[in-house]
Structure 1
């Protein structure tokens, strides 16, 4: 769906209310999707808010093709339809969703989370925001921990040993381009870690054996909205284009690897993981702390994979390079700090 198709008439039809769009503004730095803030006038007595968010495919042809090929648009629509009502993590309320299998086109009309403020992947976050974000993950993972019915939900991403050849193929294809751009941001130790990982991918996947649950798949600062002095929820998660059935340790490790700066992460890491496990206990989930942390350390490689692959399949910009440079350097350092390679 194109932005010019978002008209007052269209919005009135999908909301079943006589509304008028009085302003449209693009917000955020989405790489695969585009978000528009719609300022609206609604009938007197309506419970509709003064603004809504419309999410559409990216206007960048490369990013749009990626979103369709990887089923990102389909998965986000289906997450709001099928998964969001079954978990407790704070997300934007979805007023309307549409996805067209033939073209891959989609649109979401969602709650405007302002005055909450988007996190910033480039600058990193405070220890306080890291704590809020990680504890919120328990509200995603806890309700469906070990839920076997997730295996029957086809659109959820699942990474099994059978996926190893495909992931190795992508890694082999994209590492040269990644290093061509980002090796200047890594030290020699970091470059060597990236170069050694490819042959280890099958063992890395095979060694993941925690119970499975719903995962976000890209739980990072740019996809989180934090309370501001003007208000908002403590934190809300957006960009549900990569939901999956996987180990909870992957989401926790991915966020911690590049959310707080390394010096902050090192100070809070183990204690915060233990507090997260304490929050899971509220859902009746009891997991050995040492075993979970071992998987958490192994899963630090998930951030390296994201930095290598995603940086090569979305449209390039000055902002995207800065973001992927921050992710690559921090995720690689996370692996090195935790001795992740020795745990494969």
Structure 2
């Protein structure tokens, strides 16, 4: 049974979720803390155990993520994203040396599209700080830490056979997007974002709006050809947390897919950095990423090929936020200021990097 809301949680349910591997361990009580609502609903939970649970060192500071509302289930449940996060924390996360929260339980009901994931509460355990594009300024050191994190999970699962033969629910980036388009009219809805946020988009891109939808599909077809690794797929600033040492690490792994590294690198850099910083640092950051990718087990392409791949993948972030600004007309799932900053940054990157030209005629 997947609880519909945190109000349905009981010590007995938490015992089943957290104590299965420790004979005699039980959750004796729990307290609900603060949280937030967006594409999913999140709440902190503090758990107490009996002596067996305490002796085993079972986690006490947890963070829950669920899909209680109809809009949550449309955006996260119907698209299968909730099931992907359960897959990540239950089966993939243990194989990666990255900064993501530890995962303790993941449940998904495909009939109701309800989901419930329990992870480490990194604010309590590691002093993590969260924010979005309105509150997090990514300086050069922060950008370099992002590049390190991307390289570690990309390199760690580079052409890993489990992507195809064990974690069979994972789909490639092109299939993921086409399925999302079918279920939510995502790509056509995103085009309406040009009307809702016209001032955030350079005139040069407005003038070529008619090319964007086909170019986006072409970029994903290229990305899905590989070489394949795990991609987070939603690496905007609101999905990174900052640790006391200043480093940035990823959470919110509900959009995972398999595809080429460049979709994450391009989205992360163009969404996190102000255009003037991106222009100044992007060559160096890409060189660093390629070196780190090789160190982590990947096979980096030449810089020339990597630069082309980077340029070809900028539409992913832009389209996501053009769709989000449209959804915001129904229910605000991200702050409007955050959304508009990301549209401005990613749209400018599409123009600066001449993405439409880089995709013109590309197979």
Instruction: Give me the whole-angstrom Cα distance separating, in 2, the residues matched to 1:308 and 1:70.
Output: 18
Instruction: Give me the whole-angstrom Cα distance separating, in 1, the residues matched to 2:284 and 2:190.
Output: 34
Within the candidate set 95, 116, 130, 1:118 is matched to 130
Shift of 1:164: 6.4
Instruction: Give me the whole-angstrom Cα distance separating, in 1, the residues matched to 2:111 and 2:143.
Output: 40
Shift of 1:105: 1.4
Q: Which moved more, 1:75-84 or 1:242-251?
A: 75-84
Unpaired runs of 5+ residues, structure 1, are: none
Within the candidate set 18, 25, 38, 2:33 is matched to 25
Shift of 1:313: 4.5
Map Cα deviations across residues 112-169 of structure 1 (whole Å, 9 max, x no partner): 1111111422344222211111111111100221234423433223134897698599
Q: Does 1:264 align with 2:277?
A: yes
| Aligned residue number for residue 214 of structure 2 | 199
TM-score between both structures, scaled by the size of structure 1 = 0.88
Map Cα deviations across residues 57-113 of structure 1 (whole Å, 9 max, x no partner): 1x4422322212111111111122222223322221111222222212121111111
Map Cα deviations across residues 273-305 of structure 1 (whole Å, 9 max, x no partner): 111111111115232111011101110111112
Instruction: Give me the whole-angstrom Cα distance separating, in 1, the residues matched to 2:333 and 2:157.
Output: 39
Q: 1:13–1:166: structure 2 CA closer, same or farther, 3 Å change rule?
A: closer
Instruction: Give me the whole-angstrom Cα distance separating, in 2, the residues matched to 1:192 and 1:291.
Output: 28
Instruction: Give me the whole-angstrom Cα distance separating, in 1, the residues matched to 2:92 and 2:174.
Output: 21
SS in 2 for 1:242: coil
Instruction: Give me the whole-angstrom Cα distance separating, in 2, the residues matched to 1:171 and 1:138.
Output: 29
Instruction: Give me the whole-angstrom Cα distance separating, in 1, the residues matched to 2:254 and 2:48.
Output: 30
TM-score between both structures, scaled by the size of structure 2 = 0.84
Write out aligned runs for 1:167-246 (5 A): 170=185, 173-208=188-223, 209-228=225-244, 234-246=247-259
Q: How many residues align?
A: 339
Within the candidate set 307, 319, 337, 1:305 is matched to 319
| Aligned residue number for residue 248 of structure 1 | 261
Write out aligned runs for 1:101-112 (5 A): 101-112=110-121
Map Cα deviations across residues 153-197 of structure 1 (whole Å, 9 max, x no partner): 332231348976985994663145312321133342242344431
Q: 1:122–1:21: structure 2 CA closer, same or farther, 3 Å change rule?
A: farther
> RMSD across aligned C-alpha pairs, in angstroms?
2.8
